Structure 1
Amino acid sequence: MLGLDVLAAIGTETALMHLHGISQTVRFRGLQEQARAKVRVVADRLALTPEQLADRLVPSLGLSADGTLLLDYGHRRFWAGFDEQLRPYVTDAAGKRLAALPKPGAQDDAQKAAAAYARYAALKKDVRTLARDQLRRLETAMAGRRRWIAAEFRAHLAGHPLVGHLVRRLVWGVYADGALVAAFRVAEDRSLADSDDREMVIADDALVGVAHPVELGGEWSEVFSDYEILQPFPQLGREVFTAAGAELPTWAENRALLALEKRGWRRGDPGPGGQQQSIGKAMTGDVSVELELSPGIPVNNRHDVWADSQELSAPRVTVGRRRNVPLAALHPVIASELLRDLATLTAAR
């Protein structure tokens, strides 16, 4: 755990960003819990939640307020922008998208062009890991029903030079008493608009979140299609499941179970025989689910001693201190996300 201690002790935004990334993505439960504990300590010191801390750790990468970067060659000028996956691209002075940033030429200012060319290369490298983390954070926020105070949403999401590119490609909601009361998108000028393109104004203390398709009607798909807005992850086209009549898998191939780790599932600690006999996921801060596996997966991952598949228990859902909560008692968004994960176990057969 020394590496985690070093990151926490360094305390810079970059170090804390890496520490938070470990707390969310590492596949070893013990290491993940240690990282999360250290993130909580730092967040508590700043009177923030770990999620609020993560919002504040995203670097702007030197982008302008509109989320672009000027690449000045002296004789020529180009601008870097970002697509729906936060992959950088370049446009020329006429706004035409180019296949790549041109190499400096004889008519360009040698010093300016070399610096701009190197700056763009560094940007592509810097944004690679950042992009993956930000897409994951926003999709997790939708699946886990995270909410932001509108003032923080404007400051750290819609108004962020990098994250704003993702924000404008999603449908957002205003919530009261846990229910969606209005949906909106963020336009290029950062104004808010409903599905009829009417401008919306929301109070600074309103609760805002990434809307889930369980809560939305079909009109938003038409809006995004009309504007040719590509989404960073499945939102409007996301599969929706309901607890009523859900068919739960009773067995799964090992490769399908291990693929769940890419969706945030983690194998449990090994038992006395060295077998990991459970896999689980924290759906939200107080909702978790666990599947029992039989015969289990050897902790040494030796494929020659694996069974090809595992028998599965019914999902054991815990909400706060309540255990064995039925799926029908979960919020429809949480139930849909859980069943969406489980559906991959049968789809892989």
Structure 2
Amino acid sequence: MLFTGGPEELVRPLLPTWQPERAAVFGEWVKVAAARFGLDALPLVRGAAERSPALTDALLPYSSPAIAVFMADRYTRVKSARPAAVTWLSRHAEAAARALVPAALGKAGTARRQAEAALLALPAVTVRAAASAYGPAAASAIDSLLARDPLTLLPARLPVNPAWAVPAMLPPVRLRDGSGALPLAAVDALITMLAVSKLDEPYAGIGLVAAACEPDDLAEFAWGLLEAWELAGADAKQSWVLDALALLGDDTTVRRLTPRILAWPGDGGHTKAVAGVRALAAIGTDVALMRLYGISQRAKFKGLKTAAEEKITEVADSLGLTAEQLADRLVPDFGLAADGSMTLDYGSRQFRVGFDEQLRPHVSDVSGKRLKALPKPSEPLAEDAYQQFTALKKDVRTVAADQVRRLEQAMVTGRRWTPEEFARYLAGHPLLWHIVRRLVWTVSDGASFRVTEDRSYADAVDEPYALPEDATVGVAHPLDLGAALPAWGEVFADYEIVQPFPQLSRETYPATEESLKRFLGAAVPATRVLGLERRGWRREAPQDAGVQSRIERVAGDLTVVVELDPGIAVGDPDGLGDQTLEDIHVHGRSRLDDRPGRQPFTALGAIAASEVIRDLTIIAEPVAAGR
């Protein structure tokens, strides 16, 4: 790409005036150009942001009065660009206030309304300081703006409630004081409030309604709106319904919404799915963020996966954590006891819940005998326990696959935890420890250990092990264990420990160029290629005619790229037939859209190289075996 990698002496003169004929030419490369050329790239970046709202965030590093006015417009008028505008206003609050105060005090019209709205999104103390620089009259007028009753802040023209939003047909909303439910006229007003609300700036009346009404009913009401909207055809102009889920929803909303988010892109509903991701992030409970992280890891559609990853990164950044550290903290304990069990009380009988290596719950009686199923309840107390177990199975099923996959990827990528993190979020977690105790762990000093039934640590000869305070801990790869691997195999066999994924028995391969060559020319069904995505690979962005001709795996600072022919058609994976593995190579940067110099396969390191060969063997094994 010329602007990201072309000769500087040729590119820099083009920056002040170059604009493509089609806005579609703009893409993420604009941000690379901004980083490369700084202020000189501003005309290019501004033009890209004006023509492509998705690139509004490319202007985040820049600040000027003109950009402040532009961001006020994006904030009030372009819904998809609003999050980027909010970020810009927050980052450049003082400059934005200085630039927008004159417009907010100017002639009535669009520019004034936009400036007022943007100023109200800024800290009041910052706005007042900026206004004071324009004199006492300006300061007084701005004080009046800031003191305005938020209930009077309404759009110039209120929307008409859609025909499908019939108050009498929606779930009732009871008042907290027990005096009854909202009358139909109030429900109609609530619908209007939701229609004029924005996710990051709800109408002030929503808070009053939330304080007066039953939270469960409000969540059910919002879900009723969603179902009515979808039944009526899901008009994109009324997508405020998805924001309503965020404003009124709860963990039950999260559980209902997640499967729809994952399914919508396959039905042409990518925009709905991304809005759903924003709703999960806005609900913000541990369950919501856990489900959001799950979408970021296992969504089949690249756009949805990317949107979820961005939201998780945003939340993690706000907490000073990495996405992986946030994921550690989001694993729910489901009310389990410290030893990872749960007792179900049937009154006259009690049952104990345990978990297997895949976190599937099972039930035993008081004698320890495992039952095929929890008995049907015959009394009120038993009914509560039965429903508790039913909900537990459903919730854990969602969590289990993600956690097993996450720990396997931690082994492959070499992720490490501090001893305190390991003890708190892994070995000490009531649910995760069922997986943790079925794995061998490696220490930065070369030692290895396992977590025993009593949660102490033991080495390969079953002697107590003390974890050094200054060490780091990771899931041991067989290549980490070296000569200790056979001993660990014997320990796990003796204790009949079943592992959650292949670890001690994992196949390993030498990091040689010859190991790769045997896959070249192999014809692999497209669905098997797509199976690599469950192992941490990702496809390139769609190219001409929506075809993806490369799939990659990032390993530290390097990237393994597999070239596919004829490529995978987005929306019809099998449409172009089997995929020939045309070329396999290692690059020095993890960018699918440019081609830095190749690196030798050995540069990956023994573990990463072995895992690449293992993945390719799994998808191409019948072909590779016959070559």
Question: Scaled by the length of structure 2, what TM-score is found?
Answer: 0.52
> Equivalent residue for 1:279?
551
Change in CA separation of 1:319 and 1:210 when aligned onto 2, cut-off 3 Å = farther
Q: Which amino acid aligns with 1:46?
A: L
> Equivalent residue for 2:40?
none
> Equivalent residue for 1:97?
370
SS at match of 1:203: coil
Is residue 252–residue 312 contact of structure 1 (8 Å, CA) maintained in 2?
no
TM-aligned CA deviation for residue 229 of structure 1: 0.3
> Equivalent residue for 2:463?
198
CA distance in 2, matches of 1:311, 1:145: 27
Deviations 1:268-322 (A, max 9, x none): 12222332111112345x343221112222224174x514332421233435797
Q: Choose the corresponding residue for 2:489, options 217, 221, 224.
A: 221
CA distance in 2, matches of 1:277, 1:309: 9
TM-aligned CA deviation for residue 259 of structure 1: 2.4
1:235 aligns with 2:503: yes
Deviations 1:47-70 (A, max 9, x none): 111101000000000000000000
CA distance in 2, matches of 1:252, 1:70: 52
CA distance in 2, matches of 1:291, 1:185: 36
> Equivalent residue for 1:211?
476
> Equivalent residue for 1:292?
563
Is residue 509–residue 614 contact of structure 2 (8 Å, CA) maintained in 1?
yes
Structure 2: segments with no counterpart, 5+ residues = 1-273
Q: Choose the corresponding residue for 1:337, options 603, 607, 611.
A: 611
Q: Choose the corresponding residue for 2:579, options 309, 329, 342.
A: 309
- State the identity as a percent: 51
1:141 aligns with 2:410: yes
> Equivalent residue for 1:318?
588
Q: Which amino acid aligns with 1:262?
A: R
Aligned length: 339
| Structure 1 vs Structure 2 CA RMSD | 1.8
CA distance in 2, matches of 1:300, 1:129: 25
Q: Choose the corresponding residue for 1:121, options 370, 387, 390.
A: 390
CA distance in 2, matches of 1:323, 1:187: 47
> Equivalent residue for 1:69?
342
Q: Which amino acid aligns with 1:298?
A: A
Which shows bigger deviation, 191-200 or 330-339? 330-339
SS at match of 1:333: helix
> Equivalent residue for 1:150?
419
Which shows bigger deviation, 55-64 or 309-318? 309-318
CA distance in 2, matches of 1:135, 1:323: 35
Q: Which amino acid aligns with 2:498?
A: L
CA distance in 2, matches of 1:265, 1:320: 12
Change in CA separation of 1:33 and 1:11 when aligned onto 2, cut-off 3 Å = same
Which shows bigger deviation, 113-122 or 128-137? 113-122
Q: Choose the corresponding residue for 2:449, options 175, 184, 190.
A: 184
Deviations 1:171-220 (A, max 9, x none): 001114xxxx1000001111000011111111333200000011222110
Q: Return the index of the structure with the highest Cα Rg.
A: 2
CA distance in 1, matches of 2:573, 2:289: 35
SS at match of 1:294: strand
SS at match of 2:444: strand
Runs of 4+, deviation exceeding 4 Å: 319-323
Q: Which amino acid aligns with 2:529?
A: L
Is residue 280–residue 289 contact of structure 1 (8 Å, CA) maintained in 2?
yes
Q: Which amino acid aligns with 1:282?
A: V
Deviations 1:113-135 (A, max 9, x none): 11111111111111101101110
Change in CA separation of 1:78 and 1:256 when aligned onto 2, cut-off 3 Å = same
Which shows bigger deviation, 1-10 or 331-340? 1-10
> Equivalent residue for 2:30?
none
Change in CA separation of 1:137 and 1:300 when aligned onto 2, cut-off 3 Å = closer
Change in CA separation of 1:294 and 1:44 when aligned onto 2, cut-off 3 Å = same
CA distance in 2, matches of 1:22, 1:255: 20
Deviations 1:142-195 (A, max 9, x none): 01100000100000000000000000000001114xxxx100000111100001
CA distance in 1, matches of 2:470, 2:332: 25
1:4 aligns with 2:277: yes
Is residue 516–residue 584 contact of structure 2 (8 Å, CA) maintained in 1?
no
Change in CA separation of 1:122 and 1:345 when aligned onto 2, cut-off 3 Å = closer
CA distance in 2, matches of 1:48, 1:129: 24
CA distance in 1, matches of 2:496, 2:504: 13
> Equivalent residue for 1:264?
536
Change in CA separation of 1:121 and 1:273 when aligned onto 2, cut-off 3 Å = closer
Q: Which amino acid aligns with 1:4?
A: V
Is residue 21–residue 133 contact of structure 1 (8 Å, CA) maintained in 2?
yes
CA distance in 2, matches of 1:189, 1:35: 38
Q: Which amino acid aligns with 1:330?
A: L
Which shows bigger deviation, 219-228 or 198-207? 198-207
Change in CA separation of 1:302 and 1:338 when aligned onto 2, cut-off 3 Å = closer
TM-aligned CA deviation for residue 266 of structure 1: 2.3
Structure 1: segments with no counterpart, 5+ residues = none
Which shows bigger deviation, 202-211 or 218-227? 202-211
Q: Which amino acid aligns with 1:315?
A: H
> Equivalent residue for 1:252?
523
CA distance in 2, matches of 1:230, 1:124: 21
CA distance in 1, matches of 2:533, 2:604: 22
Is residue 28–residue 266 contact of structure 1 (8 Å, CA) maintained in 2?
no
* Structure with a larger share of its residues in helix: 2
> Equivalent residue for 1:30?
303
Q: Choose the corresponding residue for 2:442, options 173, 196, 206.
A: 173
CA distance in 2, matches of 1:134, 1:308: 32
Change in CA separation of 1:59 and 1:302 when aligned onto 2, cut-off 3 Å = closer
Question: Scaled by the length of structure 1, what TM-score is found?
Answer: 0.92
Q: Which amino acid aligns with 1:219?
A: A
Is residue 538–residue 551 contact of structure 2 (8 Å, CA) maintained in 1?
yes
SS at match of 1:200: coil
